[in-house]
Amino acid sequence: MTNAALLRATDIDKSYAGVHALKGASFELRAGEVHALIGENGAGKSTLIKIITGAVAADDGEIQLNGNAITHNSPRLAKQLGIAAIYQQPALFPELSVAENIAIGLEEPSLWKRVDWRARSGRASDLLARVGARIDPDRDAGDLTMPQQQLVEIARALGANAKILIFDEPTASLSEEDAQNLFKVIRELRTHGVGMIYISHRLEELPEIADRVTVLRDGRTIETCLMSEVNRDQLIHLMVGSELATVFPKKTVTLGEVILDLRQLGRSESGIHDVNLSVRAGEIVGVAGLVGGGRTELARTIFGLTPADQGEMLLRGKPIKIESAAQAIECGIAYVPEDRRRHGVILDLPISANITLASLDRFSRLGAMDFRREKEIAADYTRRLSIKTPAIFAPVATLSGGNQQKVALSRWLITKPSLLILDEPTQGIDVGAKSEIHALMTELAGQGVATLMISSELPEILGMSDRIAVMYGGTIVATLDRAEATQQRILALALGHLEAAEGSTPEESQSLRDLFAPVREEIKASGTTDEELLDQIEAAVKEVRERDRTSPQSRER
Amino acid sequence: MKLNRYKRELSAAVAYAVLLVAVGIIAPSFFSGANLRDLALNNAPVLLVAIGMTMVILVGQIDISVGSQFAVAGVAAGWLAKSGIPIPMLLPCLIVIGAALGAINGLFVGWLRLPSIIVTLAMLVAWRDALRWVTGGEWVQNLPANFQWFGLGQSLGQWLIVAISLIVLGIFSWTLRNLAGGRALYAVGSDAEAARLAGIEPPRVTFFVFVLMGALVGLAALLNAVRFSTVPSNAGLGLELKAVAAVVVGGTAITGGRGTLIGTLIGAALLGTIGTALTFVGINPFWEKAIQGAIILAALASDFVLGRLEGMRISDRGLRIDGAQ
Ligand SMILES: Nc1ncnc2c1ncn2[C@@H]1O[C@H](COP(=O)(O)OP(=O)(O)OP(=O)(O)O)[C@@H](O)[C@H]1O
Ligand SMILES: [Mg+2]
């Protein structure tokens, strides 16, 4: 790390209609450093980086690159100056192939240049391999899953050979393995002198990769410190401006009747099979597992998006076949999908209309909307989830990424379903709002809502669930009670608790060891020295990788 | 390159092949050289306009003023010819005139960001009325003798028109596929904001697409006008519908970002052949419009069905959630 500033943003000011997003924020990036940028939802992080990349114009302030001020910034100019970014909102072309998506981001947009399709495809394959993604460059980007799209964007940004690389929540939808892969690439780029800005709400991953961290609050720079000199609680304090209790607001609720009962449920096409699970009124069942374990697929099957073709499903004791989402909603099932970034909200509609969209009948009398009640409930949720906006009638497009997520979540929370399925409910949401969402879940459980919560965050799973179902290979391998569940047990089960797979090259073992170093540390730190368990985990990971390699399809599903 | 990506074009091609085979069996005389040449000649102007329309739709816009532009350009061609400029000069002149007409649309839609349907609807009415007012409904007559068929005689002139159309199709088709400028159209139509972030300037691209659209209309108007000894002042009525229909039947997504000119060629050929084919088969040509309508509906429906099937297949997109309510 050198000490000269590669990029310096000074006193940046930016107002959108009615919102003062940045109030004189400053930021400095050195060559060869990873500089984390954190702050609550709506603090102005994305706005700051959009100003750096020229995607939006600042009202005031100066951006310097190597000491020279950049004037008339635009995405094109920034690209020429060697600044590349992955934005929070996906910026892919759904109708175009992956290879072309990558190429359009990288090639000089000169009208008359002839396209070299073979070179495009080759470069795309190379870049995708570099981020460890097994994606066919010929596929349409719109056909990819959320994590795959994220990997394509990362690959595209890497291909720019930029001097400055900006990541706006790159890991929000990535699996642990993909995230580790990304970190490896980031570390490598750091040794080549690339300066990187890294935005994330997953504070626990920052010590792993960040050298320095800058905290934004309400559009102002609060502090910049060395990552090694702060801990998580201090960071939260800086972000929020006050102490924050990070205990889970779990309350014991007397459980009611069995709402959902799955018996040998399966869907061959999605790779789900023999799922046995019951959820009672007032109960929160956490669903843990790795990406690819079939968690989202199971949720989609219950919700009728990909109807089951094996086994039985009972709702309140009555067998039922759910063939469509409309039918599921009618039966009182709500599903908050994982990918809320693109499809969870209607960007042009106001916040209030977005929130009431799934329960319009409750807000209308004789077919006429009761706007006062709509306004009340929207105001209530806006306050409770601290959705940052000047007015509840503002279009959702004007919200920050995390606040859009809160709107999507609110829509389903107010439907008062009898079964609520949440897929990664707090992804991309800041620590403060996270505990508020947990409090809401508890409140709903108190009212007798049965909840199925899919989450990759083990603390969330452990903190919020009455029981924990662990998925592996498309089925539930075990259901643990709250009392008997531990991080290690869940991890071991999620990895299949498998008989060790035999035979591996030394390189593979090494990369496995790298991959598992953090988990190993974590388990060690928690006091267990169950070496056998760790070995099993490693073996299982290897098996999963092996399977992925031999059948790329299994990941793409 | 995957066949899957071109399934819309393929289904149009299959439909066309079926039509040709059926007509070939029932009325083999359909395939006489003279008939095929007439067919090509009659549809060349529509094809040229449809090429432009494909590009306009690819960037996510629409241009319904092409019929009126066509009439204006045709009359302009007649007047220019009468004013005595050398006949070959008509070609560049008309292209420039058309481009200027298109630039007006491009200015409003590209740079001022007004909705193209409104802008071009206004232009549709405005040009038509202006023309009526200026010509008083009179056709352009007493054209120089060498205006018709560019003075090359009927046979050569006919082939020239068809050849120009096909060459233009080839050039644009190659460009759309292989030049960065062509690919920019797809990017803008697929996601304008993403295109902007990638360093493409959507307003500029949109502007140029409308300019090209106009230029192609100018060319089409000239190639159509030289077939006759007078230029009508009400040409091109309903041309916008024919062009849009050819584009849609050819598999271009009406929402932009997806489509090819080969598809448009097939679409134009399919819709343009039906009328004649009906006559040959002995069905009342009265049915032509109804059948064309049915084909357009089928194309749109297949678009919808394919889209739905895809939507179901793609997991994690959450697509159906909002759609299901
Ligand atoms: N296009 C816009 N129009 C109006 N207001 C906007 C627009 N984009 C952002 N804002 C506002 O600017 C503020 C900062 O938003 P920004 O996206 O920078 O937040 P963020 O720190 O990235 O938050 P998150 O963690 O949720 O992504 C927010 O209050 C947001 O509502
Ligand atoms: Mg953001």
pLDDT digits (tens, 9 = 90+) for A9-37: 999 999 998 789 999 999 999 999 999 99
Contacts of B322 in chain A (CB under 8 A): 343, 346
Cα–Cα distance, A5 to A27 (Å, whole number): 10
Structure tokens at B16: 């066309």
Using alpha carbons only, how large is chain B's radius of gyration in Å?
Answer: 20
Measure the CA angle with vertex A231, ends A227 and A232; round to 5°.
Answer: 110
Residue nearest to atom 22 of ligand 1 (CA): A46
Q: For the residues A116-142, what does the mean pLDDT come to? A: 91
Within chain B, residue ranges assigned H as helices are 7-26, 33-58, 66-82, 90-106, 116-135, 154-178, 180-190, 192-197, 202-225, 239-249, 261-281, 288-313, 319-323
Average pLDDT estimate for A105-116: 82
The C-alpha atoms of residue A119 and residue B282 are separated, in whole angstroms, by 54
Q: Is A127 in the pocket of ligand 1 (CB under 6 A)?
A: no
| Sheet architecture: strand order including A333-336 | A333-336, A419-423, A450-454, A284-289, A467-472, A475-481
Would A339 be classed as within a structural domain?
A: no
Helix (H, G, I), strand (E, B) or coil at B31: helix
- Mean pLDDT to the nearest integer, B62-69: 97
**pLDDT for res B307:** 56
Which of A240, A260, A278 terminates a domain? The answer is A240
As a whole number of angstroms, the distance between CA A356 and CA A378 comes to 8
pLDDT score, position A498: 41
B283: tokens are: 């069905």
**Whether A95 contacts B190, CB under 8 Å:** yes
Domain that holds residue A39: 5-240
Query: Is the distance from CB of A302 to CB of A421 less than 8 angstroms?
Result: yes
Band (pLDDT 50/70/90 cuts) for residue B60 is: very high
Look at residue A179 and tell me if it is in a domain.
Answer: yes
Position A337 in a domain: no
CB-CB contact of A57 with B199 (8 Å): no
Q: Pick the more confident residue, B185 or B1.
A: B185
Instruction: Give the pLDDT confidence score for residue B313 in this predicted structure.
Output: 38
- In terms of phi and psi (left: phi > 0; alpha: psi -120 to 50; beta: otherwise), the region of A528 is beta
Q: Are residues A218 and A287 in the same domain?
A: no
Same domain? A481 vs A523: no
Q: Are B253 and B186 in contact (CB under 8 A)?
A: no
A221 occurs within a structural domain:
yes
Q: Are residues A550 and A457 in the same domain?
A: no
pLDDT at A248: 77
C-alpha–C-alpha distance, residues A243 and A235, integer Å: 10
Work out the average pLDDT over A99-118.
Answer: 86
> What letter represents residue A145's amino acid?
T
b (16+ CB within 10 A) / e for B127-145: bbeebeeebeeeebeebee
A42 lines ligand 1 (CB under 6 A): yes
Helix (H, G, I), strand (E, B) or coil at B325: coil
- Most B CBs within 10 A among A74, A77, A96, hence the mutation to make, goes to A96
Residues A126 and A191 in one domain: yes
A46 lines ligand 1 (CB under 6 A): yes
Residue B199 to residue A270, Cβ atoms within 8 A: no
- Report residue B87 CA to chain centroid gap: 25
Question: Taking 60 as the threshold, does the pLDDT of residue A436 lie above it?
Answer: yes
The residue of chain B with its CA nearest to that of A340 is: B318
- The predicted model gives B257-268 an average pLDDT of 95
Percent of chain B with pLDDT over 90: 70
**What pLDDT is recorded for position A546?**
62
pLDDT computed for residue A113 by the predictor: 85
Q: Is the Cβ pair B315, A115 closer than 8 Å? A: no
In angstroms, rounded to a whole number, what is the distance separating the alpha carbons of residues B284 and B18? 20
Contact A344 B5 (CB under 8 A): no
Q: Is A190 in the same domain as A278? A: no
**Does the pLDDT of residue A123 top 90, yes or no?**
yes
Percent of chain A with pLDDT over 70: 86
What is the average pLDDT score of chain A?
84
Report CA A556 to chain centroid distance, whole Å.
Answer: 18
Q: CA-CA-CA-CA torsion for A143, A145, A151, A154, nearest 10 degrees? A: 70
Is B8 strand, coil or helix? helix
| A418-426: average pLDDT | 91
Closest CA to A464 of A482, A486, A446: A482
- By three-state DSSP, how is residue B203 classified? helix
What confidence category does residue A373 fall into, taking pLDDT thresholds of 50, 70 and 90?
Answer: confident
Residue identified by tokens 């905290």 is: A215
pLDDT band at A520 (very low <50, low <70, confident <90, very high): low
Averaged over A456-470, what is the pLDDT? 89
Q: Which long-range contacts (CB under 8 A, 24 or more apart) does A15-21 make?
A: A15/A59, A16/A398, A17/A398, A18/A390, A18/A391, A18/A394, A19/A389, A19/A390, A19/A398, A20/A219, A21/A47, A21/A219
DSSP per residue over A45-90, as a string? HHHHHHHHTTSS--SEEEEEETTEEP-S--HHHHHHTTEEEE-SS-
* Tokens, residue A390: 């000047």
- Asked if the model's pLDDT at residue B67 lies above 70, the reply is yes
By C-alpha distance, which of B261, B241, B253 is closest to B70? B241
Beta-bridge partner residues of A481: A467
Residue nearest atom 31 in ligand 1 by C-alpha distance: A399
Percent of chain A with pLDDT over 90: 41
For residues B159 and B167, give the distance between their C-alpha atoms in angstroms, rounded to a whole number: 12
How far apart (Å, rounded) are the C-alpha atoms in residues B223 and B300? 31
Spell out the residues 6+ positions from residue B122 whose beta carbon is closer than 8 angstroms to its own.
B65
The values of phi and psi at residue A467, to 5°, are -135, 160
Contact A96, B187 (CB under 8 A): yes
pLDDT value, residue A557: 35
Question: In this predicted model, what pLDDT tens digit does every residue of A211-229 receive, in sequence order?
Answer: 999 999 999 999 999 999 9
Residue A88 CA, ligand 2 centroid: distance in Å? 6
Which amino acid would we find at residue A421? I
Of A416, A441, A458, the position where a domain reaches its end is A416
Residues B105 and B206 sit within 8 Å (Cβ to Cβ): no
pLDDT of res. A289: 83
Average pLDDT over residues A469-490: 85
**CB–CB of A40/A58 below 8 Å?**
no
How high is the pLDDT of residue A435? 83
Give the rounded distance of the alpha carbon of A498 from its chain centre: 28
Residue A410's H or E segment, with its range, is helix A401-413
At A249, list the tokens: 């607001």
Tokens 């601290």 sit on residue: A386
pLDDT of residue A503: 32
Residues A299 and A193 in one domain: no
Same domain? For A194 and A219 the reply is yes
Please report whether residue A500 resides in a domain.
no
What's the average model confidence in pLDDT over B30-56? 94
A273 & A126 share domain: no
Instruction: Looking at the structure, tell me whether residues A218 and A107 fall in a common domain.
Output: yes
Q: What pLDDT, in 10s, does the model give residues B105-130?
A: 999 999 999 999 999 999 999 999 99
- Which domains, and CATH codes, for chain B? 2-324 (1.10.3470)
CATH code of residue A472: 3.40.50.300
In chain A, which residues have their Cβ closer than 8 Å to the Cβ of B201?
76
The rounded percent of chain B whose pLDDT value lies above 70 is: 92
Question: Which residue, A470, A494, A518, sits at the end of a domain?
Answer: A494
pLDDT of residue A7: 95
CB B116 within 8 A of CB B123: no
DSSP helix/strand/coil, A166: strand
Together in a domain, A277 and A327? yes
In-domain check, residue A340: no
A363 versus B315: the higher-pLDDT residue is A363
Residue A235 CB partners (closer than 8 Å, separation 6+): A38, A203, A206, A213, A215
Q: What pLDDT sits at residue A132?
A: 86
Distance A45 CA to ligand 2 centre (A): 6
Nearest Cα to Cα of residue A166 among A361, A27, A22: A27
Q: A556 pLDDT exceeds 50?
A: no
Alpha-carbon dihedral sign for residues A437, A439, A445, A447: negative
pLDDT in tens, A177-186: 788 889 999 9
pLDDT at A452: 95
Length of chain A: 557
Average pLDDT of the residues in A117-123: 93
Q: What is the mean pLDDT of residues B28-34?
A: 89
Which amino acid, residue A432? G
Mean pLDDT, range A104-117, rounded to an integer: 83
Contacts of A138 in chain B (CB under 8 A): 1-2
pLDDT of residue B288: 83
> Are A430 and A292 in a shared domain?
yes
The number of domains in chain A is: 4
pLDDT value at residue A49: 95
* pLDDT value of residue A416: 81
Name the pLDDT band for B214 (thresholds 50, 70, 90): very high
* CA of residue B189 relative to chain centroid, distance: 18
CA A439 vs CA A42, A250, A378, A436: distances in Å:
21, 8, 18, 5
pLDDT category of residue A514 using cuts at 50, 70 and 90: low
Q: Where residue A534 falls among pLDDT bands split at 50, 70, 90?
A: low
Residue burial B72-84, b: 16+ Cβ < 10 Å; e: rest: bbbbbbbebbeee
Query: pLDDT value at position A508?
Result: 45
Q: Say if residue A531's pLDDT is above 80.
A: no
Q: What confidence score (pLDDT) does residue B75 get?
A: 96
Q: Chain A closest CA to B319's CA: distance in Å? A: 6
Q: Would the CB atoms of A95 and B190 count as touching at under 8 Å?
A: yes
Residues A117-140: what's their mean pLDDT?
Answer: 91
Around Cβ A100, how many Cβ atoms within 10 Å? Answer: 25
In a domain, A180, yes or no: yes
Mean pLDDT, rounded, for B182-195:
94
What is the C-alpha to C-alpha distance for residues A88 and A98, in angstroms, rounded to an integer?
Answer: 19
pLDDT(B70) > 50:
yes
pLDDT at B301: 79
Helix axes B33-58, B261-281, angle to 10 degrees: 140
Decide if pLDDT at B309 tops 60: no
- Searching chain B, which residue's CA lies closest to the CA of residue A88? B194
Q: Residue A357: its chain B contacts at CB < 8 A?
A: 325
Question: Predicted confidence band at A384 (pLDDT cuts at 50, 70, 90)?
Answer: confident
Q: Looking at A194-203, A270-279, A519-528, which range is the least confident one?
A: A519-528
Q: Do A541 and A551 lie in a common domain?
A: yes
Ligand 1 pocket check for A43: Cβ under 6 Å: yes
A83 domain residue, yes or no = yes
Which comes out higher in pLDDT, residue B319 or A319?
A319
Average pLDDT over residues A391-420: 87
Q: What is the pLDDT of residue B243?
A: 96
Q: What is the pLDDT of residues A344-353, one digit of tens each?
A: 788 888 999 9
